[in-house]
Amino acid sequence: MSSTINNLNLQDLPSASDMRVGIVVCEWNSHITTPLLDATVDTLKQYGAKPEHIMVRTVPGSFELIFAANQMVKSGLVDGVIAIGCIIRGDTPHFDFIAQGCTNGIAQLNATGNIPVIFGVLTTNSVEQAVERAGGTLGNKGEEYALTAIKMIDYARSYER
């Protein structure tokens, strides 16, 4: 196994065997979000996460990820949350509003919360770009989301007393 994936250092990566990970995934653009979710779950398991410690919930679209992630954080049932979505640019400014709102909302959760919320939202100019990042020629970003969650949960735990 390589010691890096897209510049993420995998050396000294902790086991995820005692980590509880919540995943919220949007139904919109499910042809993209489903492969991202599958790669995320597979990678968490590959690094030791127990299937019963992975909580997956769906929401209609990427904007709703903010509320869902916040509910997971507040539940106390998870050590970290991964928010998975896909926003593809169209002919109207809708893309800009949703992408900015989603980014700001998840950033706010990270700035004010006690557990990490991983930004797993693709923002692309075309369906083809999204496909390339969800198992196509550029790999699957779901792997990165899982590895980032493991690293950030470990980081957050380093501050526990």
Domain ranges of the chain: 16-157
Dihedral over Cα of 113, 106, 66, 142: its sign:
negative
5-52 pLDDT per residue, tens: 666 667 788 899 999 999 999 999 999 999 999 999 999 999 999 999
Predicted TM-score (pTM) of the model is 0.91
Choice among 75, 94, 107, 125 that is catalytic: 94
Establish whether 53 is a catalytic residue. Answer: no
CA neighbours closer than 13 Å in the CB half-sphere of residue 83: 29
42-100 pLDDT per residue, tens: 999 999 999 999 999 999 999 999 999 999 999 999 999 999 999 999 888 888 899 99
Q: Is 22 in a helix, a strand, or coil? A: strand
Q: What kind of fold does domain 16-157 have according to CATH?
A: Rossmann fold (3.40.50)
Tokens encoding 90:
């169209």
